[in-house]
Chain A
Amino acid sequence: MLDAIGVDSLEALFEDVPRGLRLGRPLDVPPAASELEVMRELGAMAARNAHAESHAWFLGAGTYAHFVPSAIDALAGRAEFYTSYTPYQPEISQGTLQTIFEWQTMVCALTGLEVANASMYDGASATAEAALMAMRVTKRSKIVVAGLHPHYRDVLRTYLDGPGGTIEHASYGADGRTRDLAGHVDGDTACVVLQSPAFLGPIEDVRAAAEAARAQGALLVVSISEALSLGVLRAPGELGADVVCGEAQSFGIPMGFGGPHLGFLAAREKHLRQLPGRLCGETVDANGKRGFVLTLSTREQHIRRERATSNICTNQGLMLLRATIFLALLGREGLAALARQNLAKAAYLRERIARTPGLALPFAAPVFHELVVTLAPGDSAERALARALDDGIVGGLDLAPYAPELGPALLVCATELATRESIDRLVAALGRGAS
């Protein structure tokens, strides 16, 4: 090979790298390990983490423990799906492209809107991009947020900094739902970003929020951190939302210590050209046969460059595939049934808490599968979670860093994985703090 190139050493191929810039020593990383050694080392690291199969799991807060049907791993593990590239050459990527088209269709069905993109990185960045989109459409820069996951709010703040957007918070009222949203919306508001179900659990009044936004010419963005809730909640698009976005990790994607997950974004057709991210469209080939292609790429960075709607390049392709398979397996009835099971488990959890001395439910508003429980006077979230852990349970999220005004409190989530027995044990462990 060196002969064909016309050099006499590998070294000569690097002659363009000035000597003074060369490293000149081996990299200081651990020496090469065999497959067996790597698996042992990683296995030992993995064994030091609690996970949803080693403990009963009641921690949600934006990442949810759900059952993943086995067909998903089997199909997503096919090399044609996971080792393939972005479908820029449609003739040899119809598998990927047809899947994206199916995903876009189902996101539209679930959100009640007309166009959906081929995914964003996660719910937080999808929400931030939705807000930026609203700023472009309305040419305003104030964002009113309500019920938003604290991490989503942080990401939104980061994304708004460059374009100069500002955030105003509408806080929750006595029942846990947002109070006086309309009072925050004015002629400078680009959009309301309403998370429903809210971070603390309550299901919000989407129609009222849509009216408040529309009254001032602002858009309503509904952000959903638990996509499964769409299995039982009315499509926000039917209640007046202009943009619906959020996190679809619950659709067949493992929690994975936070990623990769799956952001989704849908909007009304009239905002199509302002939509960020990849889009897949139907077309025909030279022989008139139906096929799919990435389309409207002139919005994207590789063509529009500095005038792009976003700089996003990748989507979450393989996660989109998993979610599409999930929705195909569950389908029309199954998604509704699964969502209702979650509703039922949380209703049981709520009822057990209500009957346990020392524990209280501060918010009366209905929830999907997540709710706030305040602890007995003198108890602490840390101690309560430690008691639960002693019984093999990861009991929920300590709310002290996020909602200190509630006093010692936990955000507890019961999905279809929770059993009656594990719920009983959790509530008993939490209640043992009452003296």
Chain B
Amino acid sequence: MAEYDIPNDRRYSHEDEWATFENDQITVGVTDFAQKQLGDVVFVELPAVGTAVEKGEPFGVIESVKAVSDLYAPVSGQVVEVNADLADHPELVNEDCYGDGWMLTIAVEDGSDYEAMLDAAAYRRHVDDRK
């Protein structure tokens, strides 16, 4: 029974982020499982455009009323775009985590980091292991 939405059109990290890959750029957000665990998101701290991020290292912070969590870069690269709407509307992460709740876009050298991420089935197993 799919209690958590895990679309097939993208990949996932162990830290509950999703990624899509297009034109040497990777767009990143957090998953439905993550936003449900956090509860109402109140603030998202994102890096400035131009920042270099490294795979596995924290790039920002997401806060809900009751919890705070680091956001981890699933790939290495340079930040080219950041979702400015999240500053005034952090609730977008809860309402549409795979669409309007996206967080940042990273320019990458190639698709290898993306290919190394979990597919939907593997991520679903990862979620089930922790439920």
Q: Is the CB of A303 within 8 A of B66?
A: yes
Docked pose: A304 CA to B63 CA in angstroms: 10
Q: Mark B61-97, 1 if CB is under 8 A from A, else 0.
A: 0011111100000000000000000000000000000
Q: Which residue of B lies closest to A308 (CB)?
A: B68
Residues of A within 8 A of B (CB): 273, 296-298, 303-304, 307
Q: Which residues in window 14-68 of B have CB below 8 A to A? A: 42-43, 63-68
A238 to chain B, nearest CB (A): 28
Range class of the B interface residue count: under 10
B42 to chain A, nearest CB (A): 8
Q: A296-B42, A298-B64 are in contact. List 12 more A-B contacts (CB 8 A).
A: A273-B43, A297-B65, A298-B42, A298-B43, A298-B63, A298-B65, A298-B66, A298-B67, A298-B68, A303-B67, A303-B68, A304-B68
Docked pose: A273 CA to B43 CA in angstroms: 10
**Mind listing 16 A-B residue pairs with CB under 8 Å?**
A273-B43, A296-B42, A297-B65, A298-B42, A298-B43, A298-B63, A298-B64, A298-B65, A298-B66, A298-B67, A298-B68, A303-B66, A303-B67, A303-B68, A304-B68, A307-B68
Docked pose: A304 CA to B64 CA in angstroms: 11
Docked pose: A204 CA to B46 CA in angstroms: 39
B51 to chain A, nearest CB (A): 14
Q: Which residue of B lies closest to A293 (CB)?
A: B65
B59 to chain A, nearest CB (A): 15
**A307 partner residues in chain B, CB cutoff 8 A:** 68
Per CB-CB distance, the 9 closest pairs between chain A and chain B, nearest first, are A298-B63, A298-B68, A304-B68, A303-B68, A303-B67, A303-B66, A307-B68, A298-B67, A273-B43
Docked pose: A383 CA to B64 CA in angstroms: 62
**B67 partner residues in chain A, CB cutoff 8 A:** 298, 303
**A297 partner residues in chain B, CB cutoff 8 A:** 65
**A298 partner residues in chain B, CB cutoff 8 A:** 42-43, 63-68
